[in-house]
A = this chain, B = another copy of it.
Amino acid sequence: MALIVQKYGGTSVGSIERIEAVADKVKSWRDKGHDVVVVVSAMSGETNRLVALAKAIQDTPVPRELDVLLSTGEQVSIALLSMALNKRRCPARSYTGHQVHIRTDNMHNKARILDIDNKRIRHDLDQGRVVVVAGFQGMDEEGNITTLGRGGSDTTAVALAAALKAEECQIYTDVDGVYTTDPRVVPEARRLERITFEEMLEMASLGSKVLQIRSVEFAGKYNVPLRVLSSFEEGEGTLISYEEEGMEEALISGIAFNRDEAKLTIVGVPDQPGVASKILSPIGKANIEVDMIIQNVGVDGTTDFTFTVHRNDYDKALSILEQIKQELGAREVSGDNKIVKISLVGVGMRSHAGIAGTMFEALANEGINIRMISTSEIKISVVVDEKYLELGVRALHSAFGLENKS
């Protein structure tokens, strides 16, 4: 008997049949004696339909009014799911973000949750009802409708779980958990039973699209255990929580990778204070996000400076660097947009030496040349030629024994 918050995304409620299936699942938790709060997204396709209506009027619709419009998508879902639950003699009530006072700042289209008044939800739970809450939306201090931006329903679920001190926040999606790596690349990839928030953040930001980064951060901040499960299959999914006593200490949790990288190098810049900012400021001003940054120890009073960007930004970044080259009197600008990044992620790294050595050796054994290296406390990333992506990921997966339950 616990309080569980569940979140079902747009695909999970994409049709009447799917909504009925979600109702079955919710009811099965209720029947086990749990209190259940459900957060739902708009039916898949609905948000796009609404955006198209708005764009038919204005290319850039007024943000406040766009939120009024988009928030109807989730409102339709909560009503239909509540009907499906009531039909199953599972008493349920739906609420918009406005009605349960999900208070946000006033940044329309990308608002952040400030707090939630859970009185009303508590009351309904006490009456034995399932509470169905519209994801992705809230209201600002003046009562204007706000939305949290795409994927915001995950954040709604985590915020509710935190406010209600729920035992667990379950995110139902179309995959059955978090894997050691992408199973399309490594067929032996294995579902993780547990992973820490920090590892999940590294996995997510490195391209594993299972959860929204913001919701993982949020869950970590408020220490809400998150569980990723499949809407369509039975299973335990993957639990994301803090490290616990007795938690199996995996050396490495998984291997993330990112195909859309490009790297740029400016060679022979004067090795003086302020050079890095002279290079990166114009890049930032052009709205280009920089990922890895590496600067080697200088020789002869000059140094080389390398960074990676999204592949779409490669040409723009290159032409900016050419200008900077003139200004700084650098020797050369070079780049490569046929590279990928592969990262080992694991909190076990903290206490185990030799991980990097094993990694580099595994890659070398396959004849894969490492172009860049960057490390953090729980992650080692390398940049290699694009053609080596699959080979590299498989080599590492095997070298660290990820296919076996560690």
Contacts and interface: CB of A to CB of B under 8 A. Distances in A.
Interface residues of A, number: 37
A76 interface: yes
A93 B69 contact: no
Contact of A94 (B19, B68, B76, B120): B68
Given A72-B72, A143-B99, A58 B79 contact: no
Contact of A16 (B57, B65, B82, B96): B57
Interface string A15-55: 01001100000000000000000000000000000100110
A83 interface: yes
Interface string A81-96: 0111011000001101
Given A98-B98, A98-B99, A99-B98, A57 B76 contact: no
A349 interface: no
A79 B65 contact: yes
A83 B99 contact: no
A58 B72 contact: no
B78 A68 contact: yes
B62 A69 contact: no
A8 to B, nearest CB: 16
Contacts of A57: 16, 19-20, 80, 83-84, 87
Interface string A267-295: 00000000000000000000000000000
Interface of A is mostly: helix
Contacts of A144: 99
A137 B99 CA distance: 15
A1 B79 CA distance: 42
Contacts of A86: 58, 62, 65
A66 interface: yes
A82 B145 CA distance: 14
A65 B94 contact: yes
Contacts of A143: 99, 120
A325 interface: no
A65 B50 CA distance: 21
Interface centre among A57, A61, A64, A69 (most CB of B within 10 A): A57
A297 interface: no
10 contacts: A16-B56, A20-B57, A53-B76, A62-B86, A65-B79, A65-B82, A66-B83, A68-B79, A68-B82, A68-B96
Given A62-B83, A69-B75, A72-B76, 14 more contacts: A50-B76, A53-B76, A53-B80, A57-B83, A58-B83, A62-B82, A65-B82, A65-B94, A68-B82, A68-B96, A72-B72, A96-B98, A98-B98, A120-B143
